[in-house]
Amino acid sequence: MSWKKFGLSIIFICVLVLAFMRIDFSNMTLVHWRDLQHIVSGLMQPEWTYLYDGSQEDLLSLMIETINIAFFGTVLGSVLAFPLALLASKRIIGRKLQSLSSVIKGFFAFLRAIPALIYGILFVRIVGPGPFAGALALSIQVVGMVGKLVAEACDQIEGQPIEAFEASGASVWQVFQYAKLPQIMAKTFTYILTHFEINVRSATVLGLVGAGGIGAPIIFALQQRDWSKVSIILLSIIVVVLLIDYLNAILRHKLK
C-alpha cells in the first residue's frame, strides 16, 4: 500500500470515529420493546379496506395522484433541463462560450443544493396547496440533476464522428444533429427515467407540506399510531416503485 492510500485510509478512519463520537446513543436506554412489538404487529396487518373506497381519498386515488405529480414534474423539468444542459457543455457550444457553460453549471449546482421539500413549501406558498405545487417543486430538482448529468454526457461525446462530418463539409446544425445528438440521447432518456422513479418517492414526501399525493395520509397515520394504515401505504409505495423500476429496466434495455 502506498503512503497516499495509507494516509487516506487513516483520514477515513478518523472521520468515521469522530462521527460516531458525535452521536448521542443515550436514547437507546429509552427504547420500549413492548411499543416496538406493537408497531411491528400493526405493520403486519395492513388495512386493506383503505385500498379503495370510491371517496377519492383512498389509497389508489392518492397513489395515482402521486404518480401524476412525479410524471408531470419529471417531464417539465426535463424539457427545461435539456437545452440548458447543451449550453452548459463546452463540447456543444465551443470554447468561446466557456463562461456561459460555467454559469449554467453553477446554476445547476444551486438548484441541486436545495431539498425538494423546501421547494415544496415555497411553491405551496406561491401557487397554493395541491398537486401542481408538488409537480413544480420536483421539476426544479429535475432541472438541477438531469441538467448536470446531460451536460457531463455531452462533454464526453467522441470526437471522431464530429471530425468526419466536419471534414465532409457539414454545417454546424448537421454536425450537431447527426454526430453529437445521437451520442447523448440514450443516456438522456436513461437519466429521465431514473429520475422519474426517484420523483415518485419524493412526491410521497411532498404531501407532508400540502403539495398533494400520499404524503399527508402517511403523516396523519403515523401521528395517530394507525400502524395498519401505515403498513398498506408503505406496501403500495414499495409495489409502485418496484413496478416503475421494472418498466424502466425494460425501456433502458430497448434504448441500448
- Residue from 183, 79, 206, 223 nearest 137 by CA: 206
Higher pLDDT, 70 or 181: 70
**pLDDT computed for residue 140 by the predictor:** 93
21-63 pLDDT tens trace: 777 766 666 666 776 777 778 778 888 888 877 777 788 888 8
CA separation for the pair 49, 58 (Å, rounded): 9
Q: Is 44 exposed, middle or buried (0-12, 13-18, 19+ CB in 10 A)?
A: exposed
CA separation for the pair 103, 73 (Å, rounded): 24
146 within 8 A of 81, measured Cβ to Cβ: yes
Give the CATH superfamily of 51-255.
Answer: MetI-like (1.10.3720.10)
The three grid cell numbers given for residue 159, joined into one nine-digit string: 470526437
197-236 pLDDT tens trace: 888 888 888 877 777 778 788 888 888 888 888 888 888 8
92-146 pLDDT tens trace: 777 777 788 889 989 999 999 988 889 888 998 888 888 888 899 999 999 999 9
**pLDDT computed for residue 256 by the predictor:** 66
**Sole residue written with cell 394507525:** 226
Which one-letter DSSP state was computed for residue 30? G
For residue 157, pLDDT over 70 is answered with yes
104 within 8 A of 87, measured Cβ to Cβ: yes
**Candidate from 64-68, 138-142, 144-148, 154-158 with smallest mean pLDDT:** 154-158
**pLDDT computed for residue 146 by the predictor:** 92
215-223 and 59-88 helices, crossing angle to 10°: 130
DSSP string computed for 97-134: GHHHHHHHHHHHHHHHHS-HHHHHHHHHHHH-SSHHHH
In the chain, where the domains are located: 51-255
98-113 and 131-155 helices, crossing angle to 10°: 140
Burial 65-89 (b: 16+ CB within 10 A, else e): bbbbbbbbbbebbbebbbebbbbbb
Higher pLDDT, 162 or 44: 44
pTM beyond cutoff 0.85: no
198-209 pLDDT tens trace: 888 888 888 777
